Amino acid sequence: AQRVTQPEKLLSVFKGAPVELKCNYSYSGSPELFWYVQYSRQRLQLLLRHISRESIKGFTADLNKGETSFHLKKPFAQEEDSAMYYCALSGGSNYKLTFGKGTLLTVNP
């Protein structure tokens, strides 16, 4: 069974501070991990995926198979980063995603 755990419902940081949104997963095979973001009054959109190994809007995430984690990090948070962030896992080629419960990030001025 696939499972994604985001332990923090809410995360609040000040502008310029580092931020880390935690994500742990459970899957018996080789998963594909994603971070999706939902800004206020907007639809869900892809932020980044682990196979791309790229930085988007200053965010990075590294897949740690030993710890079964895919934490999202940004060294200097900006106010416009305030949003709901969902970690998601796909275990097959059909792109069926399992989502975590999400973390609401608030970046204060």
Partner 1 sequence: GAVVSQHPSRVICKSGTSVKIECRSLDFQATTMFWYRQFPKQSLMLMATSNEGSKATYEQGVEKDKFLINHASLTLSTLTVTSAHPEDSSFYICSARDLRGASGELFFGEGSRLTVL
Interface residues with partner 1 (CB under 8 A) are 43-46, 49, 52, 86, 94-102
Q: Residue 102 CB, nearest distance to partner 1 (Å)?
A: 6
For partner 1, give the closer residue by CB, 54 or 79: 54
For partner 1, give the closer residue by CB, 68 or 98: 98
Q: Residue 2 CB, nearest distance to partner 1 (Å)?
A: 10
For partner 1, give the closer residue by CB, 17 or 51: 51
Pair type for strands 60-61 and 45-49: unpaired
Q: Residue 46 CB, nearest distance to partner 1 (Å)?
A: 6
- Residue 41 — left, alpha, or beta (φ > 0 → left; ψ -120 to 50 → alpha)? left
For partner 1, give the closer residue by CB, 31 or 102: 102
DSSP code for 101: -
The residues pairing with 97 across neighbouring beta strands, listed in sequence order, are 90
Residue whose structure tokens are 């899957």: 27
Cβ atoms within 10 Å of 85's Cβ, excluding its own: 23
Q: Residue 3 CB, nearest distance to partner 1 (Å)?
A: 11
Both tokens of 44, joined, read: 């869900």
